Structure 1
């Protein structure tokens, strides 16, 4: 079992060879019709998604536990924050809160429930994660388990796409 704590992520990003600057295609698809506003990228890694949103007019706050990942992040139009998302709480809510393959040092459902609280009324939560059956079970999730946390939300997308689970929901205004 992986701890997914700060030392784990510092090591991961220090030794990661691939530096993808393209955003996750699920983000591109799921945000196509959204009006730019404020966004929080929870577990941003090297920040490809944050930079992509910022280039399209979003005011982005990108948070990751790894200083190494943030050092490698390149976009200057993003507010980079080094913090542990299992304990850090933003000072405001956001129009869009997204996470892509975050592996926190807490159960996935608890993490998704935590970040859902950071979505402003009328805002959007986008979760892109590893679908069940992933080689690291504790970092996997199922759409029904995620949507069960979102009582009173409008579920826009809740599906497996290949090895990924994608959930997009709009919080009631």
Structure 2
């Protein structure tokens, strides 16, 4: 899927499933894949190419292994992880984004460390288990089974592995016509919705934080985001 929510600023991109584009109306008849293919085709680069700050912060100190990036967009996070030594499976709903991401990975010299897969995460999900599963800014203007996707993400975490979920708490301040159908759950609600088995996970973070960004008119602004980070315990 393709779900990286838009903050039009350097160093920021959204997660994939279907990016919730600020100020963009979405027809109910339009598929999420068509919407994102069209949006990516409108410019040569939609996102900055830099990794999300939360990913860099929350993976510090982790031993590199296998990683799953849900909603990779143009590949900024996946390529950064590959550069840190991770073997990455990266998914998106947009084939245009995936093709662009593969080109960027080749330019970065990490093409052999990333497996790009096309998925509408509400209909299909990558196979296997991973040491790190990332779902960042998984919001959508289209109907999307977000809780189902995040539970599948948790199920894909290997023993001793980490689940990282990052999201927005609302639209940016300059959004004058917010879309009422877009859900921005609190980190506590996200954690509860995972319905994790008791005694099998450690909660490392469940918190909100302010993210600095630049509004379309160039003025400085902030947006409240959240981080949910968990580690799956080893079975006894």
Does TM, scored on the shorter chain, surpass 0.5? Answer: yes
Largest Rg, 1 or 2: 2
Are 1:58 and 2:77 an aligned pair? no
Structure 1's unaligned 5+ residue stretches are none
- Structure 1 residues 144-163: Cα deviation after superposition (integer angstroms, max 9, x where no partner): 01111234321101111122
Q: How does 1:156-167 map to 2 (within 5 A)?
A: 156-162=204-210, 163-167=224-228
Higher relative contact order (CA 8 A, sep 6+): 2
Between the aligned partners of 1:122 and 1:7, the Cα distance in structure 2 is: 37
Between the aligned partners of 1:103 and 1:127, the Cα distance in structure 2 is: 12
**Matching residue of 1:123:** 161
- Give the 3 Å change call, closer, same or farther, for CA 18–5 of structure 1 in structure 2: closer
Structure 2's unaligned 5+ residue stretches are 1-24, 106-110, 172-177, 211-223
- Structure 1 residues 62-93: Cα deviation after superposition (integer angstroms, max 9, x where no partner): 00010011121111131111111112232211
Between the aligned partners of 1:13 and 1:78, the Cα distance in structure 2 is: 20
| C-alpha contact 1:141 1:165 (8 A) present in aligned 2 | no
**Matching residue of 2:149:** 111
| C-alpha contact 1:40 1:96 (8 A) present in aligned 2 | yes
**Higher mean Cα deviation, 32-41 or 90-99?**
90-99
**TM-score for both structures, normalised by structure 1:** 0.89
> Over the residues paired in the alignment, what is the CA RMSD in angstroms?
2.0
- Give the 3 Å change call, closer, same or farther, for CA 28–99 of structure 1 in structure 2: same
**Matching residue of 1:38:** 66
Q: How much has 1:10 moved relative to structure 2? A: 1.3
| C-alpha contact 1:109 1:141 (8 A) present in aligned 2 | no
* 3-state secondary structure, aligned to 1:91: coil
Q: How much has 1:138 moved relative to structure 2? A: 2.2
- Give the 3 Å change call, closer, same or farther, for CA 108–91 of structure 1 in structure 2: closer
**TM-score for both structures, normalised by structure 2:** 0.67
* 3-state secondary structure, aligned to 1:156: strand
How many residue pairs get matched? Answer: 172
Are 1:23 and 2:51 an aligned pair? yes
Between the aligned partners of 2:146 and 2:206, the Cα distance in structure 1 is: 16
